[in-house]
Structure 1
Amino acid sequence: METRTRAALGAVAALLLLAGCTSSVRGTPGAAGLRDPYFPKLGNGGYDVRHYALTLAYDPADGRLDATAEITARATQDLSAFNLDLTGLTVSGATVDGAPAAVNRAGSELTLRPRTDIDKGQEFRTTVTYSGVPEKITDSDGAGEGWLRTEDGALALGEPAGSLAWFPGNHHPSDKATYDITVTVPQGLRAFSNGERRSERTANGRTTAVWRSAEPMASYLAMVAIGRYETKSVPATGAAGIPVLSAADPSVAAKSAPLLDRIPELLEWSRENFGPYPFSSAGAIVEPTGDVGYALETQTRPVLPQNAFDVETLVHELAHQWYGNSVTPATWRDMWLNEGFATYAEWLYAEDFEDTPAQESFEEAFATEVNWAFPPAEPPTERNLFDPPVYERGAMVLHKIRQRTGDDTFYEILAGWPATHRHGNASTDDFIAYVEDVAGEDLDEVWDVWLYGDEKPERPN
């Protein structure tokens, strides 16, 4: 009896131990959304994307996109399932490491359940095949993003969330990755994207271009431009040693050419102020005004409508390559770090080339009442992320830092901030800590009054 009891207890203990071990390694689903202050459902938890390989075939005649997304990621937890952001389009199949995965759709959430759990720290590869007519997304402020059909092609833009209209992914700025984007279009059209063009060939009535972004990029900065473009290129021997490739719609190419020719010069001026250019290529895409209603700092190759293609806007979008693209916001609440720096770049350009001191630009912004609608670091809702206070009052914060620290320290901050967080993410708290460390003093008055204050000071100084 005693022997049987001991044996039974031993068997129970072994089963409990086995159950405990199984429980400790069993995966759980990754979070559907990263709880961003303004877009809580955007992005996904449980993994970190390393690389996107997107293969797109587009026919402007019917607007159909046939595509495959191959996503290489590393699990940040034991995963039984994970989500991708994708709106519209029809998913015909998905695999994880070559094995079929179960797929479920709920709104813009695409849930994949692999055949076996993925261990924390494991790198895995997901392939999603999808097709359909991609959507234009109308933002709360009325702007259009996502996949925008044009007279002769299409334009894919993604700030803040338009990228989920044309490829599945982890669409939050905190998860940056490298990209290969291959686009096939009917012969006679051309496709442009971010980074460097690796090849372009025409066969059987179709033209395929392969683009590579070797430096990490947030998904909202990815773009595709399809149309009948005229191109301008400057080899790497140009100013700043960066190859420049730009494209313009034929209807605006002649008018755009003089300013496109100035990109190497503007990059060199930017390098002198902001430090080394953080990417391996540069350029711009110029569209007819009706194709897009705003300029956007898409990585390495900003997109600008003809009616906004002036030197101030180009300086602004090029400055974003340092502020926003290389050092990217940790959340959308940190948007003022993008726009404040890019706006201040306009003030610096006016100071250097137009005999307009930055103090004069500051005073003009100070006198503009709309800039005091809310603190730049605390937009009330997602509809206010691109309102004037984020831009103009954000630039005022930088000018107050300049006044407080002096030019030598301020220019050290200008170049040091994007160097310290090169190709990474940073928050407003990170910026405050960095500035005070470089300045060697606290700047509470600047933060309390200019960055977070609700009341307009009586005087600008």
Structure 2
Amino acid sequence: NAYMNGYLGSDLSNSGFGLLWDFIIVHETGHEWFGNSLTADDMADLWIHEGFTTYTEVLYTQSLSGKAAADSFMQGTLDRIENNSPVVGIYGVRNEGSSDMYPKGAALIHMMRLTIGDDELFSSTLRKMVAHFRHGYINTPALLNFWNTQTGKNFNKMFSQYLSTTQVPVLEWRKDKKWIYYRWTRCIDGFNMPVEVQTSCNRLVKLEPTTEWKKIACRNATLTAAGNYYIEIKRID
């Protein structure tokens, strides 16, 4: 890394916070856990190595500079996602999938954290995962089952959406004089990821959209995502 901070002197997040530490040292140290200790049993699941290791950069930034800095760093990494092919490759033929395994894998992990809504539970589950699969093999179904069981959440649809498609989900919304209506589009059937939004009524609201229209009471409001969700929000009226 030519003895420079960032990656060869550049900040891959364009947030400024990536220049406060040496990318190679932080990222490759993360692989001591994700890659060297727990190892994907098929190259198609290399996102487990790279997604979790990329997310250690977010956690390191939070430890070094605080949560707001980590949020800024995380937001900046989303711009690196190309959606040229699915993150998970083809099993059994030594196919490792898209290079989006780095930023999009980290984005999925971050959205799992947001969905859990409890940083202590997220952190403890991450530590338990590392201990449970220590010096062993792992794959996406085993990882998914572990997180579902440990957190009481169901991440099945999120994994399918973000690992197996190149679609960016769209939170569509419209309003009348009393209600805001919202739903997920451009997504797999049954996609149901919760999302926290900020309304112009000055409220933080945790929505649980599906592909069917739902509604909340809020007059003359607009919606913006509160958090680093890898989604689009589109008003359609």
TM-score range, shorter chain: 0.5 to 0.7
1:137-172, Cα deviation, whole Å (9 max, x unpaired): xxxxxxxxxxxxxxxxxxxxxxxxxxxxxxxxxxxx
1:318 aligns with 2:29: yes
**What SS class does the counterpart of residue 441 from structure 1 fall into?**
coil
1:374–1:354: structure 2 CA closer, same or farther, 3 Å change rule? farther
Instruction: Compute the RMSD of aligned alpha carbons.
Output: 2.8
In structure 2, the residue matched to 1:397 is 108
Aligned pairs for 1:20-419 within 5 A: 311-355=22-66, 356-370=68-82, 372-378=83-89, 385=97, 387-405=98-116, 406-419=118-131
Query: 2: distance between equivalents of 1:341 and 1:358?
Result: 15
In structure 1, the residue matched to 2:160 is 448
1:434–1:341: structure 2 CA closer, same or farther, 3 Å change rule? same
Question: 1:424 pairs with 133, 136, 151, which one?
Answer: 136
Counterpart of 1:315 in structure 2: which amino acid?
V
Q: Which has the higher helix share?
A: 2
Query: 1: distance between equivalents of 2:161 and 2:39?
Result: 25
1:330 to partner: Cα distance:
1.0
1:358 to partner: Cα distance:
3.6
1:382 to partner: Cα distance:
5.5
Using structure 1 for the length normalisation, give the TM-score: 0.31
1:351 to partner: Cα distance:
2.0
Query: 2: distance between equivalents of 1:350 and 1:319?
Result: 13
1:444 to partner: Cα distance:
2.4
**What SS class does the counterpart of residue 398 from structure 1 fall into?**
helix
1:431–1:346: structure 2 CA closer, same or farther, 3 Å change rule? same
Query: 2: distance between equivalents of 1:447 and 1:326?
Result: 23
Counterpart of 2:155 in structure 1: which amino acid?
L
In structure 2, the residue matched to 1:84 is none
Query: 2: distance between equivalents of 1:450 and 1:409?
Result: 22
In structure 2, the residue matched to 1:146 is none
1:379–1:391: structure 2 CA closer, same or farther, 3 Å change rule? farther
1:81-109, Cα deviation, whole Å (9 max, x unpaired): xxxxxxxxxxxxxxxxxxxxxxxxxxxxx
1:373 to partner: Cα distance:
1.7
Counterpart of 1:348 in structure 2: which amino acid?
L
User: Relative contact order (C-alpha < 8 Å, sep 6+): which is higher?
Assistant: 2
Query: 2: distance between equivalents of 1:382 and 1:417?
Result: 25
In structure 1, the residue matched to 2:227 is none
1:414–1:450: structure 2 CA closer, same or farther, 3 Å change rule? same
1:414–1:436: structure 2 CA closer, same or farther, 3 Å change rule? same
1:382–1:361: structure 2 CA closer, same or farther, 3 Å change rule? farther
Using structure 2 for the length normalisation, give the TM-score: 0.57
1:251-279, Cα deviation, whole Å (9 max, x unpaired): x8xx59xx9xxxxxxxxxxxxxxxxxxxx
The answer to whether the 8 Å contact 2:46/2:96 transfers is no
1:384 to partner: Cα distance:
5.5
Q: Which consecutive residues of structure 2, in runs of 5 or more, have no partner in the other structure? A: 9-20, 172-229, 232-237
User: Aligned residue pairs: how many?
Assistant: 155
1:313 to partner: Cα distance:
2.0
User: Identity, % of aligned pairs?
Assistant: 24
Query: 1: distance between equivalents of 2:28 and 2:78?
Result: 23
Q: Which has the higher strand share?
A: 1
In structure 1, the residue matched to 2:180 is none
Counterpart of 1:367 in structure 2: which amino acid?
D
Q: Which consecutive residues of structure 1, in runs of 5 or more, have no partner in the other structure? A: 1-251, 260-288, 290-309
1:430–1:384: structure 2 CA closer, same or farther, 3 Å change rule? closer
**What SS class does the counterpart of residue 346 from structure 1 fall into?**
helix
